[in-house]
Structure 1
Amino acid sequence: MNAFGIFALILGILLILASFSFLIKDTYSFCKNAILVRLEKKEAIRYAIYAIGSAIGFTLLFLSAFLLHPEWANITKHTTGVYEGESINYVGNYALTLFGSFFFGASLAIFVPSFWIHLAKEKLNDVQKKWVRILYYVSIPFLFFSFWMWSEGLANYLYYPLPNGFAINNDGFMITTSANRAEGFHIAFYGVVILLGALMCLFLSDQRMYRRYHKHGLLEMIFVVAFPAGIIGARVWYVVGNWSREFAHRDFYHVFEIWNGGLTILGGAFFGILVGALMAKYSKKGLDARWTVDEVVPTVLIGQAIGRWGNFFNNEVYGRAVSVDYFRFLPTWLVEQMHISTSGSSSLTAGPGMIYVPLFLIESVLSIIGYFLIQYVVGLLLKKWTSKGDRVGCYFLWYGLVRFILEPFRDSNFNMGTDNAWSICNSLIYVLLGVAIIAAAHLHDYYVKNKKGDFFPLVSAGLLLPTFLFPLLPSLTTSSMRDGEGEIHSYGGYQLISKGETPLFLAAFILLLVATLVFVASYFVLKKSKKAGYYCLLAGAALSFIGTMLYIFGKNVNHF
């Protein structure tokens, strides 16, 4: 039986490799040949053979898992995990895995060439173009459904928590999980997933750029700079937000241990977008920077949707423990993974019949929804009423709202800082920034059209006014500080200002107040002297930036 299982494993792998090798070769040749505008019957038959070969290959691959583990037939009920005590249907799982793997292999072999031809083949027979588009769109739901089938069939025989990476050290090659971290050279799926998300952003953005400029690779240099900038921003934001809780009483080199986790999307997205926008404007001549940023920024939501699955592998940033009955519709492997606790509590699980709310999944789905709403509703259906920059603003607005809604539901062990105010405040800043970008885009177009340019100072002053509302909301401005005994004291609202508990916070408030007055004054100065008004605007911008930074750092400093 084991010999047959090994034979099925080897044959399955060979069939998959052969099918996709020929499939990729033929598709590449067809897309590169400008003379060919249609697939002949002989070529279509070859693609059908590749799909059948892939389907059989995946079926044999997963069949080998059951053949190599005959002991699975003796497992009749769950002995551990969230479904402990419930029965397991071996025959049903066997059939589900085989059917799912067959359709998964076929769907994948249909999706890859149809997607490739749909994007890369400019000249194609109209009838075949229609069929390629149909196959492309139909294969996507089949891929997801068939993946669910075979993964559900295998889920009851896996070990949890699932692997989250691998390490190579003196002990050799080791598979790691959230409960088993090894020393040495470690590749974490968390980082791999983030990289895949970033590459998906680049791919989607490149396709959008190609539609206008008919050239690929225009964003590669921007990506090479913006992606590391985003990683640095994500780490800086995490360190600043978690300084009191995680870094204040440790050696400073821990700040740089990015491989141990500790990134925040809010900071990473902001820095990555900022650096990318500046490069698009100043390093890429011939590009409409404003249009480019408007096309590219919404794709960040897809990258974030993929990147959030890094939290799944690490068993982190989940919500509170709830009954599994609310989430039985989810795949078994996902539910079992969400049953595991990594919060540092005495219990290793959420409890009998309980799982942690998969906030990563909720945010991932909402990010995908946000992408399609921004790109196709705002970008296409509402195009008549939008300005360049609206979709950038919509990105910040959408993601800020999503995080603002989800943050309070986090398990408290994964809060940023000691009270989670850091993430909530940043979410609100995203919302305000989104509104500001949309308003600025429309006002800019309106005043340029009407040849008026003195609106900026008053708009800037108006956008600063909401910052004075933050101290009115104690739940958003609580500052956690440690005294000589190491105890944590919390202060909220204008108490921070009136009692001088945090001088940096007080200084930030004063600087933003002065910046508002400077912007208002520059409106009148511009009417007298453009040069003097320009310097006033620079002064207001500098004061605003410094004040914002002091707001951020002032949350963690209670004395100079």
Structure 2
Amino acid sequence: MNTTLTILFTLSAIAAFGGLGLLSYGLWRVVKRKEEFIFIHKGGFLFITIGAAVFTLMLMLSGIVLSSPIENHLHRFMAVFGTLLFGLFVSVGVSSFFLHYYKFNVEKKFNKYGNYVAFISFGLAILALFLLIDGYAYGGMIKFPLPTGIPFNKPVIAFYALFILAGALLVLAICDHEFYKKYGRHGILEPIFYLAFPAGIVGARIWYVAGNWTRNGYNEDFLQVFRIWEGGLAIMGGALFGALAGILYFRFKYKKMYSIAEAIDLIIPAILVAQAVGRWGNFFNQEVYGAVSDINKYSFLPYFIRQQMVIYGEFRVPLFLIESFVNLTGYFVIRFAVGEGLKKWREPLDMGFLYLFWYGLTRVIMEPMRDPIDNMGDKGQWSFIWAIIFVAVSVVAIVANHIIRYQLRKRKPALASGEVIETEVVSEEKKTTIEVEVKEKGENENGK
């Protein structure tokens, strides 16, 4: 781009961010108001409308400028129109999400359909993003293979790390909302996140090193273990260590305030969302792919995905994409199909164990399909064996969970859920504490 176009692009991009800021400010004004929200709301709604319009139009203008070198009119249209749709759907999605989930006193119609509008808008925004990227890719403005981080020429910040962080933050937002709906408070899980996330990173490294102890020579040069910037994280270990750290801290901090079983059922399945997002980091690294295949069989995929999956001169099956989709599907199945649809028959902790089952089964199926070069262990069976263990443990745990709780209900018919059971335990602890205090007090008085 020449100097004029560069300046115009910079100004339009800054204006787009300004519009997004105005949109955020309008949402903040509306959400913080205690009175009922209606569609024609003075002040806040005006900021939302203007902010969304500025963000969308300025984003489209930046797309027009950026795509100017593309000679093919169709490809340029894809880039510009995709940018317009992306800005529009992001604006609608963000607005609907915050008004539905953070503003309870809204019109009944909006409250009923707001969540559907939000999720559909975000889904369409992703499709629009694919469209605009394909426009630039077809136009020759995106080179393959894609860079693995920022800056593009010599990456310092890896895209893989950014996707892991983005996935973790998304899970925090989802779970924070779940707790907000139930307890009316935000921020309950933030202290746990600050512990669980780094624990997950450490666990991912430990798992990777353990699985490749002799294969990568860690047994000969132990200092390699600490060179995490050279790569080497295993998502299976990250999920396990992060979950264990979070559960232990939750039990310690909120033992007498919230149900640990309920927390596990809400939080643990959401890890699948983080794993789905994290797999896109593998996409940039050209990892998690399968056997050589005919690229024409995958013509339904976006062009940029197909081009990035050309590895060593041959197209590979995009297993990262398949696993990402399966993980995302798993979350919705566990959280809604089982969590809501089978609520009458499920027991507390079932959803947490189902995460272990779903993820383990996914890896059991996917591991044999991966290129052997990416398989962990001396014989490439490390992840496959552990996946089988995950499935077996989860099945045993679910069966045992149902049997134990059934027996407890037979002994005490009033115990209908994990929450009541935990309340009883807490009550017994309090009772014991009171008895000890009374006893000590009596002994002190006798001593006097």
What TM-score, normalized by structure 1, do the two folds share?
Answer: 0.70
Asked whether the equivalents of residues 22 and 50 of structure 2 are also in contact (C-alpha less than 8 Å), the reply is: no
| Equivalence for 1:404 | 364
1:41 deviation in Å?
5.7
Q: 2: CA distance between counterparts of 1:42 and 1:280?
A: 42
1:293 deviation in Å?
0.8
Matched, 1:293 2:264: yes
Q: 2: CA distance between counterparts of 1:380 and 1:209?
A: 16
1:392 deviation in Å?
0.9
1:418 deviation in Å?
2.8
| Equivalence for 2:83 | 101
> 392, 396, 399: which is aligned to 1:436?
396
**Higher RCO (C-alpha 8 Å, min separation 6):** 2
Asked whether the equivalents of residues 21 and 51 of structure 2 are also in contact (C-alpha less than 8 Å), the reply is: no
Asked whether the equivalents of residues 293 and 392 of structure 1 are also in contact (C-alpha less than 8 Å), the reply is: yes
Q: 1: CA distance between counterparts of 2:55 and 2:218?
A: 54
Asked whether the equivalents of residues 319 and 357 of structure 1 are also in contact (C-alpha less than 8 Å), the reply is: yes
SS in 2 for 1:163: coil
In structure 2, stretches of 5+ residues that fail to align are 413-448
| Equivalence for 1:13 | 13
Q: Could you tell me which amino acid in structure 2 is paired with residue 175 of structure 1?
A: F
Q: 2: CA distance between counterparts of 1:192 and 1:412?
A: 26
Asked whether the equivalents of residues 247 and 255 of structure 1 are also in contact (C-alpha less than 8 Å), the reply is: no
Q: Could you say if the C-alpha distance between residues 7 and 234 of structure 1 is closer, same or farther in structure 2, counting changes exceeding 3 Å?
A: closer
Asked whether the equivalents of residues 26 and 47 of structure 2 are also in contact (C-alpha less than 8 Å), the reply is: no
| Equivalence for 2:215 | 245
Rg: which structure is higher? 1
| Equivalence for 2:427 | none
| Equivalence for 1:327 | 298
Q: Could you tell me which amino acid in structure 2 is paired with residue 50 of structure 1?
A: G
Q: Could you say if the C-alpha distance between residues 364 and 131 of structure 1 is closer, same or farther in structure 2, counting changes exceeding 3 Å?
A: closer
1:328 deviation in Å?
1.4
Asked whether the equivalents of residues 269 and 355 of structure 2 are also in contact (C-alpha less than 8 Å), the reply is: yes
Asked whether the equivalents of residues 11 and 60 of structure 1 are also in contact (C-alpha less than 8 Å), the reply is: no
Asked whether the equivalents of residues 23 and 51 of structure 2 are also in contact (C-alpha less than 8 Å), the reply is: yes
Q: 1: CA distance between counterparts of 2:297 and 2:253?
A: 51
1:2 deviation in Å?
2.9
| Equivalence for 1:497 | none
| Equivalence for 1:160 | 144
1:322 deviation in Å?
1.1
Root mean square deviation of aligned Cα: 1.9
Asked whether the equivalents of residues 100 and 114 of structure 2 are also in contact (C-alpha less than 8 Å), the reply is: yes
Structure 1 vs Structure 2: percent identity of aligned residues? 36
| Equivalence for 2:383 | 423
1:262 deviation in Å?
1.0
Output one character per residue of 1:487-542: Cα deviation in whole Å (capped at 9) or x when no partner: xxxxxxxxxxxxxxxxxxxxxxxxxxxxxxxxxxxxxxxxxxxxxxxxxxxxxxxx
Mapping of residues 5-404 of structure 1, within 5 Å? 5-40=5-40, 44=45, 46-67=47-68, 69=69, 72-73=70-71, 90-130=72-112, 132-133=114-115, 135-156=117-138, 157=140, 158-166=142-150, 174-176=151-153, 186-248=156-218, 250-284=220-254, 285-340=256-311, 349=312, 351=313, 354-404=314-364
Q: Could you say if the C-alpha distance between residues 137 and 264 of structure 1 is closer, same or farther in structure 2, counting changes exceeding 3 Å?
A: closer
| Equivalence for 1:446 | 406
1:208 deviation in Å?
1.0
Q: 2: CA distance between counterparts of 1:115 and 1:389?
A: 28
Output one character per residue of 1:73-112: Cα deviation in whole Å (capped at 9) or x when no partner: 3xxxxxxxxxxxxxxxx11101111111111111111111
SS in 2 for 1:201: helix
Q: 1: CA distance between counterparts of 2:191 and 2:146?
A: 36
| Equivalence for 2:443 | none
Q: 1: CA distance between counterparts of 2:67 and 2:36?
A: 45
Asked whether the equivalents of residues 230 and 268 of structure 1 are also in contact (C-alpha less than 8 Å), the reply is: yes
Q: Could you tell me which amino acid in structure 1 is paired with residue 357 of structure 2?
A: L
Asked whether the equivalents of residues 165 and 175 of structure 1 are also in contact (C-alpha less than 8 Å), the reply is: yes
In structure 1, stretches of 5+ residues that fail to align are 74-89, 167-173, 341-348, 453-560
Q: Could you say if the C-alpha distance between residues 126 and 286 of structure 1 is closer, same or farther in structure 2, counting changes exceeding 3 Å?
A: same
1:62 deviation in Å?
1.4
Output one character per residue of 1:399-446: Cα deviation in whole Å (capped at 9) or x when no partner: 101000000011111110232211110000110121122112212211
| Equivalence for 1:519 | none
SS in 1 for 2:152: strand
Q: Could you say if the C-alpha distance between residues 416 and 133 of structure 1 is closer, same or farther in structure 2, counting changes exceeding 3 Å?
A: closer
SS in 1 for 2:355: helix
Q: Could you say if the C-alpha distance between residues 288 and 416 of structure 1 is closer, same or farther in structure 2, counting changes exceeding 3 Å?
A: same
SS in 1 for 2:35: coil
Q: 2: CA distance between counterparts of 1:386 and 1:450?
A: 17
Q: 2: CA distance between counterparts of 1:338 and 1:250?
A: 34
What TM-score, normalized by structure 2, do the two folds share?
Answer: 0.86
Q: Could you say if the C-alpha distance between residues 282 and 10 of structure 1 is closer, same or farther in structure 2, counting changes exceeding 3 Å?
A: closer
Asked whether the equivalents of residues 390 and 441 of structure 1 are also in contact (C-alpha less than 8 Å), the reply is: yes
Count matched residues: 408
Asked whether the equivalents of residues 227 and 272 of structure 1 are also in contact (C-alpha less than 8 Å), the reply is: yes
Asked whether the equivalents of residues 223 and 276 of structure 1 are also in contact (C-alpha less than 8 Å), the reply is: yes
